[in-house]
Amino acid sequence: MVRVCKAFDAIPEGLTSVNAVHKKEALRIEGSKHHFDNNVYAHATVKVALNAIYHNKCAYCESLIEEQADRRVEHYRPKGGGYHWLAYEWSNLLLACESCNRKKWNHFPVNGSRVAAPPSEETDWRPDSGVMRAEQPLLLNPEIDHPEAHLRFSPDGQIHAVDDSEQGVQTIKYCGLQREDLVYARKKQIDWFRKQMKCQLSIFLDYFCNNHDQTGVTFQAALSLGFQTIAEQIKAAQQPDHPFSRVGWHINNEPETFLLEDIPAGELRDVARCTLKLLKIM
């Protein structure tokens, strides 16, 4: 999960249309018995806006949602879990993959007292309002929280709660962020960079051994053979539109652990380290 920027007052048309207004009124009267209309909360305009904000990635697990069928308009506070009044509320809608959506379901753990009825002021319905924050949700919200302060990754693709953060622990648990396919996909991304690094090091060594030229020119030539490309790929891997961009961030910011760990200690690792420094990765 990574922080995203969402304008709560830039409400998509599908949530303000005449039809949406009628549905909101029906919801107000019928309460939890209301038949939620996904033509409103999952209107095409809502999906387009969420796809842009989340770069077609799941708000919880950060995997790319390639299939339309796997794309869910997710209610952060569950409409079927005591928050029916937030069914058509823009600030309550996230983009999630089918797996996270199904796993999270109607769960919404809180540390404080639950807001049981809609606050009279609609501005208090937003997750960043004092009223809603007082619930002390234990599920991280990428639109208002700083997930990186609570979640971190290790080179084996596992996710961990930073300093046993309760929000981190509960978010991992309720969204299933430690599930096998996610761990595998994150590890695969890290392993791919490690492989690229090793491959370039062997090219460098070949070049170095066959030329016996230890001048800067040789080193620059080796750089041009591929290290620059790796550096660019690492930078790209932490951009918001990249799946698991937080893993990319770890690779870029903690290369000693994420990139160099399985390169034999000694001269070879020193070369790798030196190269990364030149490329401003370390």
Chain residues binding Zn ion by CB under 5 A are 58, 60-61, 97, 100
Q: Which is nearer to Zn ion, 25 or 181 (CB)?
A: 181
Write down the least CB distance from residue 109 to Zn ion, Å. 18
- Cα-Cα-Cα-Cα torsion 179, 182, 186, 192, nearest 10 degrees, comes to 120
Write down the least CB distance from residue 131 to Zn ion, Å. 28
Nearest to 39 by CA among 12, 4, 59: 12
Write down the least CB distance from residue 198 to Zn ion, Å. 31
Q: Which is nearer to Zn ion, 101 or 167 (CB)?
A: 101
CA distance 184 to 273: 27
Q: Which is nearer to Zn ion, 100 or 172 (CB)?
A: 100
Q: Which is nearer to Zn ion, 4 or 58 (CB)?
A: 58
Q: Which is nearer to Zn ion, 60 or 249 (CB)?
A: 60
Write down the least CB distance from residue 9 to Zn ion, Å. 27
- Cα-Cα-Cα-Cα torsion 238, 244, 246, 248, nearest 10 degrees, comes to -40
Write down the least CB distance from residue 176 to Zn ion, Å. 8
* Helix residue ranges per DSSP H, 109-238: 130-133, 166-175, 180-211, 216-222, 228-237
Cα–Cα distances (Å) from 154 to 183, 195, 237, 257, in that order, read 10, 17, 16, 8
